[in-house]
Amino acid sequence: MFDKNLDEMTEADAEKLLLRIAPRINEHAAAVAEQCGRLPIALCAASSALKAKRSLSPEDYLKRLRDKKERLKLHDEVRNLTVEACFSLSYELLNEELQRRWRKLAIFPTDFDAPAAAAVWQTDVEAAKDALAELEEYSLLEWEETARRYSLHDLAHDFADTRLSATEREQTGLLHAAHYLQILSTADDLYLKGNEAIAGGLSLFDNERVNIEAGQEWAATRFTGDEQAARLCNRYAGYGVYVLNLRQHPRDFIRWQEAALYAARKLRDRRGEGTRLGNLGNAHRSLGEVRTAIEYHQQALNIAREIGDRRGEGIGLGNLGIAHRSLGETEKAMKFTEAALKIFEETESPNANTARSWLEDLRGKS
């Protein structure tokens, strides 16, 4: 195994190595070290190249290093070894199944836990832990004891990504997106339990946010031609609506809801379409775009009536009441809120109390 070449150096040691070989790197040492992932073989190759090629400025070389393919081509003249070849040597020591599993880890944009690896590998968690431990022995995986999470070094990620076939990328992307949809749903469920569970739900979302967003993006960029992706895209906007409301900027929230709206329409999911329209109305109202919000709420109301969804009809009417109140249109707000209250009472909805309170306030202003 080739642990020395694949073991990450400290930031200070990495910069010291670069400057010892090529002093002219100067103030660019930190940036070059970062692009090289602080791996000895990459650092030696980069500094040697800058030492030998005097016409190549550190600034121009940094631009090259930002291309992952160029980083993998870094060549250490002393060892006569490229970064890619160095990873290949360790990769080829793995059996075929472990190779397959390792390259699938490139689907993770950031660190991950054992259950997530098990999900994309379609195996149980204990078997996943055994395989992850073996990959760590080959210096192909990093383990963070405190957080109890795994990660691929940036350059290892680049290498693994080049080994993924198109079919593997799509299959693994689907599994990754489906797993993190469930994580998002769990975060929302915890939040809805209230009390101490609220912090747990928000913490879970925060810890997994990068992977959750990657899962939603995967689904959102594929739903037009893939029914499974469309279902995932539709659900991402609904399964986490409460934590998303708290954690996302309204514009990001709108982007997710718009993608889900198009997915719901593709799936002919009228109830889902109505829900997404209502969420978009609320988001635009929070931005002060009340007229736009009213348009969305009216569309949501029309769908609720069309499919006989009394609960959705009540919510749509209530949202229209809130929107018109925001514009100071008290009479319209009262009309919609009274209609909403009637439905909430008929359906024994807990929203009835809120509607009564709103109505009393509106009557006091009329």
Residue boundaries of the structural domains of the chain: 3-88, 94-163, 166-365
CA distances, 295 to each of 144, 281, 304 (Å): 49, 7, 14
Please tell me the distance from the alpha carbon of residue 345 to that of residue 351, in angstroms, as a whole number: 9
The pLDDT assigned to 2 comes to: 42
The pLDDT assigned to 51 comes to: 74
Please tell me the distance from the alpha carbon of residue 217 to that of residue 228, in angstroms, as a whole number: 14
Say whether pTM exceeds 0.75.
yes
The pLDDT assigned to 4 comes to: 44
Please tell me the distance from the alpha carbon of residue 49 to that of residue 197, in angstroms, as a whole number: 54
Q: Tally Cβ neighbours within 10 Å of residue 208.
A: 22
Q: What tokens does 127 get?
A: 């078997």
The pLDDT assigned to 68 comes to: 59
- Site of tokens 């029309």: 302
The pLDDT assigned to 58 comes to: 83
The pLDDT assigned to 308 comes to: 96
**H or E segment and range at residue 256:** helix 250-266
Query: What secondary structure does DSSP assign to 153-175, as a single string?
Result: -HHHHHHHHHH--HHHHHHHHHH
The pLDDT assigned to 52 comes to: 64
**Helix and strand counts by DSSP (H, E) for the chain:** 21, 4
CA 69 to chain centre: 24
Residue 335: burial class (beta carbons within 10 Å; 0-12, 13-18, 19+) = middle
The pLDDT assigned to 345 comes to: 94
Please tell me the distance from the alpha carbon of residue 300 to that of residue 306, in angstroms, as a whole number: 10
* CATH value of 166-365 in 2.30.300.10, 3.40.50.1820, 1.25.40.10, 1.20.210.10: 1.25.40.10
Q: What tokens does 36 get?
A: 């090289």
Q: Tally Cβ neighbours within 10 Å of residue 34.
A: 15
Which class would CATH give 94-163? mainly alpha
DSSP-assigned beta bridge partners for residue 207: none
Please tell me the distance from the alpha carbon of residue 113 to that of residue 306, in angstroms, as a whole number: 45
> For each successive 10 residues of the chain (366 residues), what is the average pLDDT?
58 85 86 76 68 78 67 54 64 89 97 98 98 88 93 87 94 98 97 95 97 98 93 95 93 96 96 96 96 98 97 96 94 94 94 91 78
For helices 310-326 and 270-286, the axis angle rounded to 10 degrees is: 20
Q: Which of 230, 238, 232, 242 is nearest to 257 (CA)?
A: 238
- Cβ atoms of 142 and 151 within 8 Å: the answer is yes
Integer-rounded Cα Rg, in Å, for the chain is 27
pLDDT digits (tens, 9 = 90+) for 296-330: 999 999 999 999 999 999 999 999 999 999 999 99
The pLDDT assigned to 49 comes to: 66
